[in-house]
Amino acid sequence: MKYLPLALAFTTPAHAALRFGCATVSIQRLDPLVEPGRIPSAHLHQIVGGNAFNATMEGDIAEKATCTTCTFSENFSNYWTAVMFFKHPNGTYKRVPIMQNTALPNGINGGMTIYYTQHDFVSNGKEKITAFRPGFRMTVGSPTYNVQPGGRGNPGLRFVCLENKGTRFPELATFPSRPCRGGIMTVHHFPACWDGKNLDSPDHQSHMYNTVREAFTPAGPCPASHPVRVPQLAFETLWDTTEFNQWWPEDGSQPFVLSYGDGGDSLGYGTHADYVFGWKGDALQRAMDSDCMFQGCENGRPLKSQSVAQMNACRVKDFVGEDIDSWLKYLPGQDPEKL
């Protein structure tokens, strides 16, 4: 089968853009950003990146990790999202497997595709892109959004009904309303305007400002309150929903849910993602200042990279130790007898 290019076509690779795969480092109920220190956290996450991921993460995690599941080998950021489940008409839940994206090296175990772009895929918008600093963290979206927050919602948070792994359009604000032949992709674009001062904020969002538009198209200018343009960070996760299409409910209702229970009637508006910066030294700044594109940034030009086997070998201990893979009566964390 022939796949379409992963991203929009580009002709002049004049400015830096990072795109790389990260294998799953852990799937468990921890959330060091929103619920620090709580074991287990309220809902399940899929985490990729460095092995310093833990219930509590403070300071510069690049100093604490020893490996990462991402292509770029010495830089230990963590990236996480909710996990997708299928709700069978018989009322039980099954975790949806994560599959590898197209255009990445073969054999990556689950995980996500991570992007750090400048303005879009073809230019830097003639602006200096300032890398995140040690200790920086942020979230985008919120599990509490259970209605459409006006218009088409946050244009950076999208679902794609895949015909195959290369399908990118249309981008949907909600879970697809029909079975998708090639699975479902979730996309999380983070805000790219920073206040220039705070590494975090009480809601993990107000130090950032969102000018993001759909589908990696150029974002608007940063406002005076958040004047510093940082890399445009985005995650893509491909969920292999195909084995569940045979059980699509007869009443036509949408059967997929995110791990905090959003989906079904609330359609997935609560989709969200989290980021903790963990590149060592000035590695990300050097990449953003360079002209490298995608795989062209690997092998020391300017970033050191590692093999898929090394990526897959990095792991975080399971601190929670609960069953997440059987047909479950409740989503992890939602058994009323254990709340």
Ligand X SMILES: *[C@@H]1O[C@H](CO)[C@@H](O)[C@H](O)[C@H]1NC(C)=O
**Site of interaction with ligand X (CB under 6 A):** 52, 54-56, 72-75, 88, 90, 92, 280-281, 283, 303-304, 327
In the chain, which residue ranges form alpha helices assigned H by DSSP?
283-289, 308-313
Q: How far is the CB of 149 from ligand X (least distance, A)?
A: 34
| 249/281 with CB nearer ligand X | 281
- For residue 85, list its beta bridge partners: 95, 257
Q: How far is the CB of 152 from ligand X (least distance, A)?
A: 35
Q: What are phi and psi of 238, to 5 degrees?
A: -105, 120
- Give the other-Cβ count within 10 Å of 275's Cβ: 23
| 140/331 with CB nearer ligand X | 331
Q: What are phi and psi of 253, to 5 degrees?
A: -70, 155
Q: How far is the CB of 137 from ligand X (least distance, A)?
A: 16
Q: How far is the CB of 49 from ligand X (least distance, A)?
A: 13
Give me 100's structure tokens.
Answer: 């590898």
| 59/149 with CB nearer ligand X | 59
| 92/174 with CB nearer ligand X | 92
Chain residue at closest Cβ approach to ligand X:
280
Residue 39's contacts (CB-CB under 8 Å, 6 or more residues apart) are 29, 30, 55, 319, 320
Cis peptide before 227 (omega within 30 of 0): no
Q: How far is the CB of 304 from ligand X (least distance, A)?
A: 4
| 87/168 with CB nearer ligand X | 87
Cβ atoms of residues 196 and 229 within 8 Å: no
| 56/148 with CB nearer ligand X | 56
Q: What are phi and psi of 312, to 5 degrees?
A: -65, -20
Q: How far is the CB of 126 from ligand X (least distance, A)?
A: 25
